Amino acid sequence: MSNNYTTTFTVDQSPEEVCAAVNNVRGWWSGEIDGRTDQLGAEFTYRYQDLHRSTQKITELVPGKKVTWHVKDAAINFVKDKAEWNGTDIVFEIAKKGDKTELRFTHVGLRPAIECYGKCAGAWGFYINDSLRSLIETGKGDPNEKED
């Protein structure tokens, strides 16, 4: 998975609590989300203004361990190749590390060589490290704090 955007953090909550927060996508990711986000095989769409629209299919859901979304269709409207996310995978790996739980987030296919990397990596950094982490630790995410 080298060169893909990855970020990791640890929390005091259990792997099951971390997984539940990941699956509560509306609690940590801004924009309009339609569809189920917590069931294997389910598809959901994400839309943020006219800047980003994508459809994700949940291709892996191992409670307390791993969640994978496959991006089936996307339109990132602030770059030349609006389909840069198509065919990429968004992976949440959850593991017990001593008395803590580690969440490793990787967007497989989001690499420095693609145009949206800077903005997309920055946005993921906020949504994962700030909003999702807050949802896990306090029960409240902050998905709409950062708007560009």
CATH homologous superfamily of 5-138 = START domain (3.30.530.20)
Q: Give the pLDDT confidence score for residue 146 in this predicted structure.
A: 47
- What is the H or E stretch that residue 44 is in? strand 43-48
* Rounded CA separation 118/59 (Å): 26
Which whole number is the average pLDDT over 27-53? 94
Q: Which H or E run contains 19?
A: helix 15-23
For tokens 């924009």, name the residue.
31
| pTM of the predicted model as reported, rounded to 2 decimal places | 0.94
Reported as a single tens digit per residue, the pLDDT across 60-76 is: 999 999 999 999 999 99
Q: Domain locations in the chain?
A: 5-138
**pLDDT value of position 2:** 62
